[in-house]
Structure 1
């Protein structure tokens, strides 16, 4: 088997086990406090911001504008649509030579 496929499968398995393990641990606590639930629901956005922000600010004006578009759409729409709009914005601004 190609080593790239093996690495992808191992990463998928590690991701699944991490997520499933988190759910199993949370089941042991019963009802979760509403503040803990709010903090856990903010984690995906925080991780996305931590991954995107450094490259967006080092990418100049197109990166900053794309990040703002993504953030604004995230406030009202789904994360997938927001990311797609941000990528489209970045590509359009770079194509215009900004």
Structure 2
């Protein structure tokens, strides 16, 4: 197995960017007061990212995936993210098993 230097550097650069944005966010959040609307905005980011990742797949595939996307979206409004994703996965599995 050979490792392409450009690929390795790209992977390392992406890892560094990911780590720096996470650490930078943790560092900068100390200087921001999270009250009222700001807290609501921060709390709405995970469901928005989840739907942004799931929706293209749901609309590019069949009815079972679209229904599972809707289930995931509604679950994400009230439930923790892990539970929402688990419900979406379970619902698409059940719908596919039913032949939808």
TM-score range, shorter chain: 0.7 to 0.9
Q: CA RMSD in A?
A: 2.4
Measured in 2, the distance between the counterparts of 1:77 and 1:28 equals 29
Q: Which residue of the partner structure matches residue 21 of structure 1?
A: 24
Counting matched residue pairs gives 93
What SS does the aligned partner of 1:97 have?
A: coil
User: Kindly tell me: are residues 76 and 38 of structure 1, through their superposed partners in 2, closer, same or farther at Cα, counting changes over 3 Å?
Assistant: closer
Whether the 8 Å contact between 2:51 and 2:73 is mirrored in structure 1 is no
Is 2:78 aligned against 1:76? Answer: yes
* 1:6-52 deviation digits (Å, cap 9, x = unpaired): 85x876654343122012122234x2452222212211111111111
Which residues of structure 2 form unaligned runs of 5+?
Answer: none
Distance, in Å, in 2 between the alignment partners of 1:57 and 1:63 is 8
TM-score by length of 2: 0.71
User: TM-score with structure 1 length normalisation?
Assistant: 0.72
Cα distance between partner residues in 1 of 2:35 and 2:78: 25
**CA shift at 1:76, angstroms?**
3.0
* Deviation, structure 1 residue 71: 2.2
